[in-house]
Homo-oligomer: A and B are copies of this chain.
Amino acid sequence: MTDRLPHTLRSDALDNRERILDAARALFSADGLDVPMREIARRAGVGPATLYRRFPTKQTLVTEAFADQVHACRVIVDEACADPDPWRGFCLVVEKVCELHARDRGFTEAFLSTFPGVADVAANREYTVRAVAELAQRAKETGRLRPDFVLDDLILVLMANRGIHTASTTAQVAASRRFAGLVIQAFEAGPQRAPLPPAARLASTAATRT
């Protein structure tokens, strides 16, 4: 029995870690990153001491909670940039990033947030924005992406995507797909495109705030 005790403890510790991360994702998704640490501990069913032993700061918790999403986002962006057809790559970014965010609204909050010090998520946003800027430039040069597209439009789309709420993740992803499909057709260059209202300044604000 004494031999198995440390093993049991390690299992419990792992279990606690996952419960904390699940609780954090659920609460970040519902209430944003401002949710208090004690609320996360309560939802996870652990004491505050356990929470702080695992995650000494909110930043470490946010970083761990969205590590998978940050990685997935990076894979999407790299795949899109490697596409020999930049317009196809651009469409892939819009589709896949909308879907990624539709599956986890907490990640959208983190991605768009000005919450200080969430280094990995902020770095991911900057990486994404820079890569898409370069991709968009190439897509414009092929004549497929409308010339008046600006990076703020991508932030606008991500903000809009988070407003879509449905009863289930399946319905959420389906609605987000329809939305991304519409957005892509709005971004496509065409001979009779009317001028758009001026772009909103969103990405630049987000970038300077971090």
Chain B residue nearest to A167 (CB atoms) is: B205
Q: What number of A residues sit within 8 Å (CB to CB) of B?
A: 36
Main secondary structure of the interface of A (DSSP, over half): helix
Interface residues of A in 162-178 (CB under 8 A from B): 162-167, 171, 174-175, 177-178
Question: A153, A160, A201, A205 — which one has the most chain B CB atoms within 10 A of its CB?
Answer: A160
Q: Which residues of B contact A198 (CB under 8 A)?
A: 174, 177-178
Complex: how many Å from CA A8 to CA B164?
Answer: 47
Task: Name A178's contact: one of B163, B183, B190, B196 (CB within 8 Å).
Answer: B196
Contact, CB under 8 Å: B159 / A164: yes
Complex: how many Å from CA A161 to CA B162?
Answer: 9
Complex: how many Å from CA A153 to CA B192?
Answer: 23
Complex: how many Å from CA A196 to CA B182?
Answer: 7
Answer whether residue A116 sits at the interface, using C-beta atoms and an 8 A cutoff.
Answer: no
Q: Which residues of B contact A181 (CB under 8 A)?
A: 196-197
Chain B residue nearest to A174 (CB atoms) is: B200
Indicate with 1 or 0, residue by residue over A139-164, a CB within 8 angstroms of chain B CB atoms: 00000000000000100100111111
Contact, CB under 8 Å: A179 / B163: no
Chain B residue nearest to A95 (CB atoms) is: B197
Answer whether residue A193 sits at the interface, using C-beta atoms and an 8 A cutoff.
Answer: yes
Residues A200 and B171 in contact in the complex (CB < 8 Å), given A163-B160, A163-B164, A190-B190 = yes
Contact, CB under 8 Å: B162 / A163: yes
